[in-house]
Amino acid sequence: MQKYENYGSKPTRQGFGEALLEMGKIYDNLVVLGADVSGSVLTSYFRDAYPERFFSIGIAEQNATTIAAGLALSGKKAVFSGYSAFVALRNADQLRISVCYNNVDVLIGGGHAGVTVGPDGATHQSLEEVSFLRTLPNMKLVIPCDYWQTKKATAALLKAGGPSYLRFGRPSVPMFTTEDTPFEIGKADVYREGNDVALIACGHLVWPAILAAEELEKRHGIKARVINNHTVKPIDVVTITNAANECGAIVTAEEHQIFGGMGSAVAEVVVKNCPVPMEFLGMKDTFGQSGEPEELLERYHLNWESIYNLALKAIERKKSKNVSYLSPIDYDVEFKD
């Protein structure tokens, strides 16, 4: 179990940008490609320090992804970063064949992910890419929870090599891991122990999961296990199976569509190894809209209160053992009305 304490906030993208800057010193074969948003995803730090290893490719994500593969085929560690809305799906074919089939050292930094990109609206709120990325053979997919974890994940993925995707966000979010918190690709972190329900989250929703667990204990004496499932692929089968076996009920939470995301990946493990009732928190088959991050998280129920409520529901289902109690996937009725 890892300790946690909220001690301020920073954007996850800052962890990415600073890590690249540091890694540029360690790897003289690290090359970074820009797609006209270097100042947003903070590859600008690397660009300014190592201009001879930074190449502007312009607004051409397909080309940039494939150029990254060409660099990697030439012995480079290639990083290409842009908005997650445009560097995972527009270039899907390039990722599939030139990066993953070639199985080369390309790290894609998918920034500004999720609804928390805010006022830019639905076009820029990437909420679907995890479903595709996790089907790609050879791909590693990490969605870190805060600044420090993003920094560590960037370094870990570059060290590991091969095709990888790091999904991170734009706004300042709570920091609760530290420079000393261990990070291992494919090893989920447990922040709170408990056997009543497991709250499995990734990215920006890990902190709300912790808050939900604290409230569950305070109000009901419920002990919730909180798991930061930062690596969606390769997924931590052992930690998830143990959680299913020992807690008997699971809630997943992510800033992504409920179809095909991290929760679905967890469900695949749970259904195979130890079926238990599960509830899924995420975007319910709908697009986002303009608004401040906090307003949008509230509107789409991506907050600790929803995790709390779903936890109670999952525990109820565990106790009732009544199959007819299984909920249909609840679509975003509020929005469609």
Partner 1 sequence: MNITFEHKLFDNRKRNTSEFLEISKVLRQDIIKSLTLAASGHSGGPLGISDIIAVLYFGGYMKYHSDDWQWAGRDRFLFSGGHMVPVQYSALARAGFFPVEELATLRKFGSRLQGHPGYVDRLPGIESSTGSLGHGISIAVGMAISDLLVDKNRRKVFCVVGDGELEEGSCWEAAMAASHHKLHNLCVIIDNNDCQIDGRVKDVMSVYPLNEKFSAFGFEVIEIDGNDYSQIISAFDKFEQNQTNGINKPMAIVAKTIMGKCVSFMEDDYHWHGNPPKPEQAIKALEDLDKIC
Binding stretches for partner 1 (CB under 8 A): 29, 31, 52-53, 55-58, 60, 62-63, 65-76, 78, 93-94, 96-98, 101-104
217 in Cβ contact with 247 (< 8 Å)? no
205 in Cβ contact with 17 (< 8 Å)? no
Smallest distance, Å, CB 127 to partner 1? 25
Q: Within 10 Å of residue 289's Cβ, how many Cβ atoms?
A: 15
Q: Tell me whether residue 74 or residue 123 sits nearer to partner 1 (CB atom).
A: 74
Smallest distance, Å, CB 93 to partner 1? 5
The dihedral region occupied by 291, where left means phi > 0, alpha psi between -120 and 50, and beta the remainder, is left
Q: Tell me whether residue 77 or residue 124 sits nearer to partner 1 (CB atom).
A: 77
Smallest distance, Å, CB 44 to partner 1? 19
Smallest distance, Å, CB 27 to partner 1? 12
Q: Tell me whether residue 72 or residue 201 sits nearer to partner 1 (CB atom).
A: 72
Q: CA–CA separation, 81 vs 297, rounded Å?
A: 25
Smallest distance, Å, CB 21 to partner 1? 18
Smallest distance, Å, CB 73 to partner 1? 5
Name residue 34's beta-bridge partners: 56, 81
Q: Which helix (H) or strand (E) holds 99?
A: none
Smallest distance, Å, CB 182 to partner 1? 32
CA geometry: angle 312, 248, 332, nearest 5 deg = 45
Q: Which helix (H) or strand (E) holds 115?
A: none
Q: Tell me whether residue 72 or residue 224 sits nearer to partner 1 (CB atom).
A: 72
Cα–Cα distances in Å, from 284 out to 28, 48, 239?
A: 44, 41, 26
Smallest distance, Å, CB 102 to partner 1? 5
Smallest distance, Å, CB 55 to partner 1? 6
254 in Cβ contact with 114 (< 8 Å)? no
Specify the pairing of strand 197-201 against strand 250-257. Answer: parallel
Q: Tell me whether residue 5 or residue 52 sits nearer to partner 1 (CB atom).
A: 52
Q: Tell me whether residue 47 or residue 230 sits nearer to partner 1 (CB atom).
A: 47
Q: Tell me whether residue 71 or residue 145 sits nearer to partner 1 (CB atom).
A: 71
Q: CA–CA separation, 196 vs 198, rounded Å?
A: 7
Q: Tell me whether residue 62 or residue 286 sits nearer to partner 1 (CB atom).
A: 62
Residue 297's Cβ-side half-sphere holds a number of Cα atoms within 13 Å equal to 20
CA proximity to 90, closest of 63, 71, 125: 63
Q: Tell me whether residue 73 or residue 155 sits nearer to partner 1 (CB atom).
A: 73
The H-assigned helical ranges of the chain are 12-26, 38-41, 44-49, 61-72, 92-94, 129-133, 147-160, 206-220, 237-247, 262-273, 293-299, 304-320, 333-336
